[in-house]
Chain A
């Protein structure tokens, strides 16, 4: 008989070779989480900010976050996109509380320091002091230069109407960051057409943020957990599919082409979620119309590490922004969009298919649920580990989806950057 394992063993060491066995403490340890914020969100990586269509006019702004740091995206008077940190250069107040709007300048309410939309400090009240009884009182020291006290400006990349930013001005160019393979899929979705915003969904999921990346790097579950997908052939293990990663294995694309669905096959044998006799009463829920830009695949799910997922599930397209807030929770913000050349019918179709996704989605609601319950499992015995060995131990691209290769890929990269 082996020893009963210690549940809260320290220090935390990754005990196995490779990345197929993921220790539960990777999801539960507060120090690891803080290190992730520093190394994955605040340094060396690009994070999702939003869509240019959210700030169409000069003066428009949108408040969002990178990791846990509040930032503001603005469109300045020259029409350019800027991202600044939402911390006043004076005494640190988070000055922007509205989530969107239009302003000519950014003003901190506390002492009225005001900044241009690019983040430059324009003026400081009482800079030259206040005259009283023939004498000037106070004021800023002579050496004070407004140029030294702008807002923290981030490095910004825009492509195809999507905005990314980084606190790290040394970060590699955005195109290199994605790598040629993933960039190709990115350009397929964001091919230069103007985007139209259909709206937002916001949910708080009580689980570690990496679980959401894993969920969309996991083609094992959709055909099992999601009855909807299986039955209508939207996502089944026998669909024609490919899994692709960048050279670092941090980003991925799951590419799938819808099968015929319906009939019983090997992959649905014994799968309790498969309902052969299920039929939607209102067919508009699965009224799928192929679009030219698809070039084949009916579903293409992209995980851009660490902050965002780009979704094409048939006619429903969205961005899903991961906003961590603690080791055991993240906010998940969905932005559904369409394209400027959509007919009213196509817009309506995208909106109806949106019923499958989001916090109440016929399909996606259960993803949030299993993430919450996974976190429960991790918290109860952090010294244990997950097994991601479907399809072996390697990190490789595949032409099928019966594998957890993308999850192994992400942890291969994670171990390197986190040095664990």
Chain B
């Protein structure tokens, strides 16, 4: 039987809501809200597909706890000098790989567009999310979110979370 059909309808709706809310938060610069999509003992990585597939552990960004996510938010607000930009996520329908013992394994394709002030909108980062999700206080939260990106050359830098 297909895993997706084994998941009850409410879980699917909750998952779609999580993906939608996450994209809305990171596209509207609500970084403090971004942190709250994760459990305390979480993992968030932005990793080139090359490293992922060749088994190299290096990530472009590897945040290993909710506190580290908060450190990143502080960095975005206070320490990282950067040319301001908007980002816009388009996230595909999630595929649910597993839904067992309250833990969901899911993935979805994403494309992020970047728009700089006085500039055109360009494709910034393209890849897929590999997610591990669990229910906490009645809400679905990320235990881990890996952003595995195809984009071979990062257009200069990545400041905001994907």
- A-side residues, CB < 8 A to B, are 99-100, 197-206, 225-228, 273, 275, 278, 280-282, 284-285, 331, 336, 347, 351-352, 354-355, 358-360, 362, 365-366, 368-370, 372-373
Most chain A CB neighbours (cut-off 10 Å) among B54, B78, B154? B154
Q: B83 touches which one: A99, A201, A373 (CB < 8 A)?
A: A373
The CA-CA distance from A225 to B117 in the complex, in Å, is 22
The CA-CA distance from A373 to B117 in the complex, in Å, is 13
Whether B6 sits at the interface, judged by CB under 8 Å, is: no
> Which among B12-20, B24-32, B63-71 touches the partner chain?
B63-71
Tally of contact residues, B, Cβ under 8 A: 36
Closest to A334 in B: B58
Most chain B CB neighbours (cut-off 10 Å) among A226, A228, A282, A285? A282
The CA-CA distance from A247 to B11 in the complex, in Å, is 68
B33-75, CB under 8 A of A: which get 1 and which 0? 0000000000000101011001011111111110110111011
* Closest-CB distance, B27 to chain A (whole angstroms): 18
A359 contacts B60, CB within 8 Å?
Answer: yes
Given contacts A280-B71, A359-B157, A365-B157, contact A201 B62 (CB under 8 A): no
Main secondary structure of the interface of A (DSSP, over half): mixed
Residues of B within 8 A of A281 (CB): 67-68, 70-71
Whether B158 sits at the interface, judged by CB under 8 Å, is: yes
Q: A365 touches which one: B50, B71, B80 (CB < 8 A)?
A: B80
Residues of A within 8 A of B75 (CB): 228, 362
Ordered nearest first, which 6 A-B pairs have the shortest CB separation? A199-B58, A199-B56, A227-B79, A281-B67, A204-B153, A199-B51
The CA-CA distance from A95 to B61 in the complex, in Å, is 34
Q: B78 touches which one: A275, A285, A360 (CB < 8 A)?
A: A275
The CA-CA distance from A281 to B74 in the complex, in Å, is 10
The CA-CA distance from A102 to B13 in the complex, in Å, is 46
B158 contacts A275, CB within 8 Å?
Answer: no
* Closest-CB distance, A61 to chain B (whole angstroms): 14
A355 contacts B78, CB within 8 Å?
Answer: no
